Structure 1
Amino acid sequence: MTDPLDKATSQAPATLGEGCLSRYDPDALDAEDGTEFPGAAELWQQLQQEPAPKPEPQ
């Protein structure tokens, strides 16, 4: 079994932008960075079909 802390000490992916606009560079990400999400399209469709919750009157 591999040491789970090995991943924590690895180098972070490249970023774009600065400050609050900083984000990971999508071209620099791969499966090792956890970018694989095969159900993303289905989840997005499901979330778009659900009605938005109505705020409760105060």
Structure 2
Amino acid sequence: MNIDKAQIIDLLKSQGKNDDADRAQSELPDQVDPEQHSDLLAKFGINPQDLLGKIPGLGGFGG
């Protein structure tokens, strides 16, 4: 499942990680596959397993 880069950037900003959000803006592709891009996500302190639960609408139970 791909996740829109903007959602990841919003998540980082909501966690007060503005510097990481700025870097993610330039380094992440527009659509992020948590499994394929796990190394990039790790650079920003994001665990791909946790990502689905933290972004609204991606939790699987009605979001």
Q: Do both proteins adopt the same fold according to a TM-score greater than 0.5, normalized to the shorter chain? A: no
Greater share of residues in helix: 2
Normalised to the residue count of structure 2, the TM-score between the two structures is 0.28
Q: Which has the higher contact order (CA 8 A, sep 6+)?
A: 2
